[in-house]
Amino acid sequence: GAGVSQSPSNKVTEKGKDVELRCDPISGHTALYWYRQSLGQGLEFLIYFQGNSAPDKSGLPSDRFSAERTGGSVSTLTIQRTQQEDSAVYLCASSLDLAGAGSYEQYFGPGTRLTVT
């Protein structure tokens, strides 16, 4: 079947605008993860979902960031009042489970490259 998809692939926005990033995980995957990767840097963990629930939101950089997941499938990451430091590639991943053998491999989407001007 299809892999993880993300949209848009690229987003250029003006400072202060809100943006919404979308992730479609692999069908049947209960765990979903959001990461941020700045140029030449490693992945910064933002948040994960088990089903529709996000037990820990402490990885979100500020209260301008929020995420939700509905129907145990699609997730959206919303950034309000964007700042230039929000510019990065936002990666979404999913895994079959959150724990156990089904959690070992996270399948990543192609990412959304966000540029805040």
What residues between 15 and 34 interact with another protein by CB under 8 A? 33
What does 15-74 look like in DSSP terms, one character per residue? TT--EEEEEEPPTT--EEEEEEE-TT--EEEEEEEETTB-S--TTSSSTTEEEEE-TTS-
Write phi, then psi, for 81 (nearest 5 degrees). Answer: 45, 60
59 binds another protein (CB under 8 A): yes
Only one of the segments 10-18, 50-58, 61-69, 72-80 lies at the binding site for another protein (rule: CB under 8 A); that segment is 50-58
Q: Considering the rule CB under 8 A, would residue 58 count as an interface residue with another protein?
A: yes
Question: Which of 64, 66, 87, 108 touches another protein by CB under 8 A?
Answer: 108
Contact window for another protein (CB under 8 A) among 7-15, 19-27, 42-50, 62-70: 42-50
Stretch near another protein under the rule CB under 8 A, chosen from 19-27, 60-68, 77-85, 105-113 = 105-113
Phi-psi region of 110 (alpha: psi -120 to 50; beta: other; left: phi over 0): alpha
